[in-house]
Amino acid sequence: MNRSNPAPSRQRAPGDDGGAVIQVEGLVKSFGSFRALDGLDLTVTPGEVHGFLGPNGAGKSTTIRVLLGLLKPNAGRVRLLGGDPWRDVVSLHRRLAYVPGDVTLWPGMTGGEAIDLLGNLRGGLNETRRQDLIDRFELDPTKRGRQYSKGNRQKVALVAALASDVELLILDEPTSGLDPLMEAIFQEEIATVKTQGRSVLLSSHILSEAEALADRISIIRAGRVVETGTLDQLRHRTRTTIRATLDNPPATLDSLRFVHDARLQDRTFTGTVETSQLSAAMAELSQHTITALTVAPPSLEELFLRQYGTDTTVEAARRTTGGAA
């Protein structure tokens, strides 16, 4: 799987944003005295699936609602598909589809009716795709809003969004409540969307989902994007975990200058290394006769926890992920 190549197809949405589908700079949004977004920057290029990750309350949904023109930014520059999301609501929304994380349907209206309503408001649905998606997601379109379970409500919104031929999909935790089978179908559908050269902003809590789908990732914390890049780039910026069995363990760990968080139990050594210093660290370790070695690149989970976990939670997470490696 080649994640380092975002492969932006630049023939779409030409504008003054260097062709970016979403271009946000210094976005600020406050609710009373609470600053929900505090100078947020975000760029989504055409044809890419952009993972938008962050803990609860970090500002993911607020950002999306600004992009949808539902909230008015207090400061900053926001461009969406070459337009202003607050001013050009109707023309921009013809070109995008949205799936909220918590879908509420009209109580007396069937799922099929809701799909058609949302589709018609956007300017029509692709009929074959609509039927195909209803079959694939095993959705009963004749039930009424109140009768659907959470996962089935989510399917209604997913079918309505995926059945439209739009340039940009904005998905806010789209798979919350879906079972693993449906989650797999969702991932296949997004992969299809990607091959069609369409763009996706995918806000998610499910890291494996973002890891599987996203070309690039932005991690948001307390209203700011703290990390952005391809998964490889993010990995490069953080440390690799090393586990080794040493036949000739050192008396003291202080001699290992390039290894951090070093720990030695009997002959089993664990530690983390900056990616740029991997060779140097291996040279140091090899002096102690390595008989077994695993080098694990940081998982997205580790990246994620490192960015916004407290020290103790990171430590706890490292112990669990280290133990699993």
Partner 1 sequence: MNQTLVGARPLLRAALKQDARTIAPWIVLITALSASSVLAYAWVFPDTHSRAQLAATLGVNPALSLIFGPARDLLTADGFNAWRAGALGGFFSALMAIFIVVRNSRADEDSGQAELLASGVMGRQTRLAVAMLMAVLASIVLGLASWLVTVAFGGGWMNSLALSATFTAAGLMFTGVAGISAQLGSDARTANSIAVATLGVAFVVRGYIDASQSAAWVVWLTPLGWLEEVRPATGNNGWPLLLACALTAVLAAVALALHARRDFGLGMVAPRRGPARGTTVASVWGLALRINRGPLISWLVAFAGLGTVFGFLATSVGDVFASNPTMGGLIAGGATTQTGLLFEFLITILRLVGIIAAVFGVQIVMRIYAEEIDYRVEPLLAAALSRARYLASNAVIAFAAPALGLLVAGTIIGLIAHTGEPDLPVTDVIGQAAATIPAVWAIIALALAAVGANPRTRLAGWLAVIATFALTILGPLFRLWNWILGISPLWHVPNVTTTSPDFSGLTAVAGVTLALTAIAFAGFRHRDVI
> Under the rule (CB under 8 A), what is the footprint of partner 1?
65, 68-72, 89-91, 93-94, 96-98, 100, 102-110, 112-118, 120-123, 141-144, 146-147, 157, 170
Cβ nearer to partner 1, comparing 7 with 70: 70
In this structure, which amino acid lies at residue 60?
A: K
Nearest distance from C-beta of residue 21 to partner 1, angstroms = 16
Nearest distance from C-beta of residue 106 to partner 1, angstroms = 6
Cβ nearer to partner 1, comparing 107 with 323: 107
The angle subtended at Cα 116 by Cα 52 and Cα 171, nearest 5°, is: 0
- In 3-state terms, what secondary structure has residue 130? helix
Nearest distance from C-beta of residue 160 to partner 1, angstroms = 8
Nearest distance from C-beta of residue 235 to partner 1, angstroms = 34
- In 3-state terms, what secondary structure has residue 195? helix
Nearest distance from C-beta of residue 108 to partner 1, angstroms = 7
Cβ nearer to partner 1, comparing 72 with 252: 72
Is the Cα torsion angle 220, 158, 50, 91 positive or negative in sign?
A: negative
User: How far is it, in rounded angstroms, from Cα 315 to Cα 54?
Assistant: 19
Nearest distance from C-beta of residue 167 to partner 1, angstroms = 13
Nearest distance from C-beta of residue 38 to partner 1, angstroms = 17
Residue whose entry in the numeric block shows the structure tokens 């080649």: 2
Q: DSSP string spanning 273-316?
A: EEGGGHHHHHHHHHTT-EEEEEEEPPPHHHHHHHHHS-HHHHHH
What six digits make up the tokens of 270? 């664990």
Cβ nearer to partner 1, comparing 170 with 242: 170
Is the Cα torsion angle 282, 285, 288, 291 positive or negative in sign?
A: negative
Centroid of chain to Cα 30: 24
Cβ nearer to partner 1, comparing 14 with 123: 123
Task: Identify any residues that bridge with 292 across adjacent strands, giving them in sequence order.
Answer: 245
Cβ nearer to partner 1, comparing 146 with 319: 146
- In 3-state terms, what secondary structure has residue 276? helix
Cβ nearer to partner 1, comparing 1 with 72: 72
Is the Cα torsion angle 141, 144, 148, 152 positive or negative in sign?
A: positive
